[in-house]
Amino acid sequence: MEQGIFNSTYQSLIESFEKDHLPERSFEDETLLAKRAAAFQVFSRKGFPSIKDEEWRFTNLNRILKQDFSLRPPSISFAKAEESIAGLDACRLVLINGVLAIEQSDVLPEGLIFLDTQAALANPSYSQLLGSIAVDDNNAMLAFNTAFFKNFYVLHVKAKKLIEKPIHLIHKFSEAGSPSIIPYRLLVIAEELSESTLIETFHSDGQASVLASYVSEVQVAQSAVLHTHLINAAAEDLNLIHHREVEQFKTSVYNNSNLALGNAAFIRNNFNCRLKGSVTETNLLGSYITNGTQHVDNHTVVDHQMPNSNSMELYKGIMMDRSHGVFNGKIFVRLDAQKTNAFQQNNNILLSDQATINSKPQLEIFADDVKCSHGSTVGQIDEQALFYLKTRGISEERARKMLIEAFVLDVHSRIPIKALQEYVLQLLQAKLDTDSLVTA
């Protein structure tokens, strides 16, 4: 028995699939259309996931779907992405409401290509890869995206290329008339022995009223190194459901930081790393600072399938006001993954009696010669440290800020790009510039 949400948004999506959506996609190849049809079956059967789905137990989509979101052909308004990161020397690519704004984007360095939907479909290998990295027939939101995405982009780093200049992909959401649901998609290919950095930031203009469904599939080939950063600085008009699926091959390295520092009303991240080769390294960092009625949910999977790999995961969260944080981290160590080292830590601070955190760190171990550990804490600001600072003449508010900054510094200090670190600190300070700190 399916226990999904079958509301009016769902109904109108189901109706529009064959009537409006498919005719619009007639230029796509058979492979892709077949994937869409299969995904549509899954979504129409399961509906939007409800809290009866164990993976959505603490995150109630019904709250978001109270608004009627409609799927419409996205149009680029005259919005301009003003957002930039001071001091960051990067190639900018701008997506407005999921559509590439070419005139706002930079030329890319040699060894790296970025393709929009039309260009990507010209090469059948891309549409073949699409939907083959993120595979999960039980995931209705993933299926929804596969069935309905309008735009599809490919970032392809060629073999043996060292791209020193980071790519800065700006996701901007702008006024769209009525509440819109925007499904779009990215495929990242890091070929053998390449090294590159992708920074993604999320912004909105405060008038957007958007539910964005973003799926990114990432392939890190043998001995490739890929650094990615996801920084959410959007206003409260954004609801984001992001699914990232990473597959890593032998001796590759993948690092990510996933920071929710803005005011987006709702964020759900599904972040899955499949370690399909031996001797890989994976480092996942995360932070979430929430206030008001924000809801931020981080689901991660680190799936060790082959021997001798290392993974490290560190997520830290601060919840204020009536906000709600969710951390669900799962480590799999499969039978063949002997000599795995896997580490996971989730630390939280609750600053209000109305705030909630659900933390669910999980280990599923099928190999014996492994070292795995996880830890999770929920606590408060250290009162002794607070008192100590106050005896040195520092105000309560200042002292609290200092201690919170110190709490997340553990995560933020590991970001290797100086300009990005400073940007993150600015966002954090803006976020902490609130009364909620003292009135706890």
Partner 1 sequence: MSKDEHLLSTLATNEYDYGFTTNIEMELAPKGLNEDTIRYISEKKNEPEWMLEWRLKAFKHFLQMSMPDWQNFPMPEIDFQGISYFAAPKKNQLKSLDEVDPELLDTFNKLGIPLEEQKLLSGVAVDAVFDSVSVATTFREKLAEQGIIFCSFGEAVQNHPELVKKYLGTVVPQTDNVFAALNAAVFSDGSFAYIPKGVRCPMELSTYFRINSQNTGQFERTLLVADEGSYVSYLEGCTAPMRDENQLHAAVVELIALDNAEIKYSTVQNWYPGDKEGKGGIYNFVTKRGICKGKNSKISWTQVETGSAITWKYPSVILKGDNSVGEFYSVALTRNKQLADTGTKMIHLGKNTRSRIISKGISAGNSHNSYRGQVSIHASAPGSRNFTQCDSLLIGDRCGAHTFPYIENRNSSSVIEHEATTSKIAEDQIFYLNQRGIDTEKAVALIVNGYASEVLNKLPMEFAVEARKLLAVSLDGSVG
- State the residues that interact with partner 1 by CB under 8 A: 54, 333, 335, 338, 348, 350-380, 440
Q: Closer to partner 1 by CB, 118 or 354: give it.
A: 354
Which helix (DSSP H) or strand (DSSP E) does residue 42 occupy?
helix 30-46
R_g of the chain, CA atoms, integer Å: 21
Q: Which of 276, 277, 332 lies closest to 300 in space, CA to CA?
A: 332
Q: Closer to partner 1 by CB, 164 or 353: give it.
A: 353
Q: Closer to partner 1 by CB, 44 or 50: give it.
A: 50
Q: How far is CA 55 from the centre of its chain?
A: 16
Cβ at position 316, least distance to partner 1 in Å: 15
Rounded alpha-carbon distances, angstroms, from residue 169 to 67, 166, 172, 203: 28, 10, 10, 11
Q: Closer to partner 1 by CB, 60 or 338: give it.
A: 338
Cβ at position 19, least distance to partner 1 in Å: 37
Q: Closer to partner 1 by CB, 1 or 107: give it.
A: 1
The DSSP result for 199-236, as a single string, is EEEEEE-S---EEEEEEEEEEE-TT-EEEEEEEE---T
Q: Closer to partner 1 by CB, 330 or 414: give it.
A: 330
Q: Which of 270, 212, 278, 210 lies closest to 246 in space, CA to CA?
A: 270
Cβ at position 4, least distance to partner 1 in Å: 16
- d(CA 2, CA 282) in angstroms, rounded, equals 35
- d(CA 385, CA 176) in angstroms, rounded, equals 47
**CB burial class (10 A; 0-12, 13-18, 19+) of residue 82?**
exposed
Cβ at position 289, least distance to partner 1 in Å: 15
Placement of tokens 């190849």 in the chain: 29
- d(CA 163, CA 381) in angstroms, rounded, equals 41
Cβ at position 54, least distance to partner 1 in Å: 7
Q: Closer to partner 1 by CB, 255 or 311: give it.
A: 311
Cβ at position 331, least distance to partner 1 in Å: 9
Q: What are phi and psi of 188, to 5 degrees?
A: -115, 125
